[in-house]
Amino acid sequence: MSDSRGFTLLELVWSLIIVGIVMALAMPGYGKFRESMSLKQANAQVLQDVRRARQLAVTRHAPVVVRFGAPPSISNITSYTILVDTNGDGIAQSSEMNTFRTLPTGTRLSAVTLTPVDQLQFDVSGLLQAGTLGGRLVIANRANRRDTLMVSAAGVCYQP
C-alpha cells in the first residue's frame, strides 16, 4: 500500500464541473438580490438626506434647499444637492455648506413630483417654506422596480 495523498485529476475535474454548475444556477439569483439591495440603499439614502436637511434647517437656523438633479430636473435623476442657505439667496456660496450626493450605481429618481418642481425648501422651523406642498419621489433600479417616498406639506419624509 502506497502512502500517497491528494486528489486525482479526474476527481479535480469533477469537482470543478460541479462548482461551475452551482455558480451558473446561483448567479441570476445573486444579480436580482444585488438589484433589490441597491434600490433599498437608494431609498434609505434619499430618506435620510431629506430628514437630515430638515434637521439642518432647525439646528443651523438657516433655510435648507434640496435640489434634485444637476441641473435641476424631474426625471431620471442620479444626483442631488443639499444647500444650507445661510443668506437666503438660493445660490451656493463658498461659505455655505453644500453637499453633493449621488445615488448608488444602477438606481435613479425616475420621477420627482414636488411643488415647486425640482426642490424642497425647508425654513428655520423645519417646515417646508410657504407655497411648497411636498410631493412624491419615485426611486427605480435597472430592472425598473420602483419604490416611493412621500414628503408631506409639513416637510416630513416617509415611505407610504
Q: Does the pLDDT at position 148 exceed 90?
A: yes
C-alpha–C-alpha distance, residues 129 and 87, integer Å: 15
Number of domains composing the chain: 1
Ranking 16-25, 27-36, 121-130 by mean pLDDT, the lowest is: 27-36
Residue 104: which CATH number? 3.55.40.10
DSSP-derived 3-state class of residue 44 = helix
Whole-Å CA distances, 9 to 3, 16, 22, 23, 65: 18, 11, 20, 21, 65
Share of the chain above pLDDT 70, in %: 97
64 belongs to a structural domain: yes
Whole-Å CA distances, 102 to 44, 49, 77, 82, 127: 13, 11, 9, 11, 25
Domain limits for position 13: 9-158
DSSP-derived 3-state class of residue 75 = coil
DSSP-derived 3-state class of residue 56 = helix
The single-letter code of the amino acid at 72 is P
The 3-state secondary structure of 1-34 reads CCCCCCCCHHHHHHHHHHHHHHHHHHHHHHHHHH
pLDDT tier, 130 (very low <50, low <70, confident <90, very high otherwise): confident
pLDDT tier, 55 (very low <50, low <70, confident <90, very high otherwise): very high
- Between 74 and 133, the more confident residue is 133
Q: Which residues pair with 148 in a beta bridge?
A: 138
